[in-house]
């Protein structure tokens, strides 16, 4: 296989009609955006920590002017564990739906421990919450019951099909050869 290297880089900010807008400073990782029923742009983001960190939380930002200006980030979910990796979308009835990954694998000092379960045996959780008012308020998050995805992590766009069914992307890994194996098999799923 031959791989070619691009001869030039395109700066999309230089294209006619484009504009660069800062939506979230010093945070706002892993954004996933959709439009609420009233046309408000809503993005679910990770705040509170970098890529890893027990201080991670789920936040949202909103724009009512087509992305020209954005609200300050506001809290959706903040547990004692690491809340991260949004899968976000809007149902056919206009309900905003957020799935995210709650990572329990930190020791008492907040150091990431990895693995399938924390030292206390608490599994990773896929959490869900909804907003019925365009993202201004959110239900108390609850755990989804997906036994076949014990290490699952949602991320990306939740899509509403023509019949109203919601489909969400979830990635998951299993240890190959048992829990002590260092080999992993990574898988992608669509959850309905």
Contact status, residue 90 vs residue 164, Cβ threshold 8 Å: no
CATH number, residue 117: 2.120.10.10
DSSP string, 118-132: -TT-PBPEEEEEEES
Is 11 within the bounds of a domain? no
Q: Choose the weakest-confidence range: 41-45, 90-94, 184-188.
A: 184-188
The boundaries of the domain holding residue 70 are 24-191
Is 13 within the bounds of a domain? no
Is 57 within the bounds of a domain? yes
For the whole model, what pTM was predicted? 0.85
Q: What Å distances lie between residue 168 and 16, 99, 130, 151, CA to CA? A: 34, 8, 14, 15
Is 103 within the bounds of a domain? yes
Longest dimension (CA), the chain: 55
Q: What pLDDT is attached to residue 179?
A: 53
Pairing outcome for strands 156-157 and 82-90: parallel
Is 181 within the bounds of a domain? yes
Is 175 within the bounds of a domain? yes
């Amino acid at each position: 296989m031959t791989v070619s290297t691009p001869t030039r880089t395109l700066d999309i900010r230089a294209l006619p009609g484009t504009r660069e807008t800062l939506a979230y400073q010093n945070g706002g990782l892993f954004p996933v955006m959709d439009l609420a029923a009233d046309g408000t742009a809503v993005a679910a983001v990770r705040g509170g920590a970098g890529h890893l960190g027990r201080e991670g939380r789920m936040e949202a930002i909103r724009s009512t002017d087509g992305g020209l200006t954005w609200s300050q980030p506001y809290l959706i979910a903040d547990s004692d564990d690491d809340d991260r990796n949004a899968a976000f979308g809007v149902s056919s009835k206009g309900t905003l739906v957020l799935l995210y990954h709650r990572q329990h694998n930190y020791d008492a000092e907040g150091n990431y421990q990895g693995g399938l379960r924390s030292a206390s045996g608490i599994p990773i959780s896929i959490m869900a919450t909804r907003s019925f008012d365009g993202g201004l308020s959110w239900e108390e998050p609850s755990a989804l019951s997906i036994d076949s995805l014990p290490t699952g992590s949602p991320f990306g766009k939740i899509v509403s099909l023509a019949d109203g069914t919601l489909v969400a992307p979830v990635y998951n890994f299993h240890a190959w050869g048992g829990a002590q194996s260092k080999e992993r098999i990574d898988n992608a799923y669509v959850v309905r």
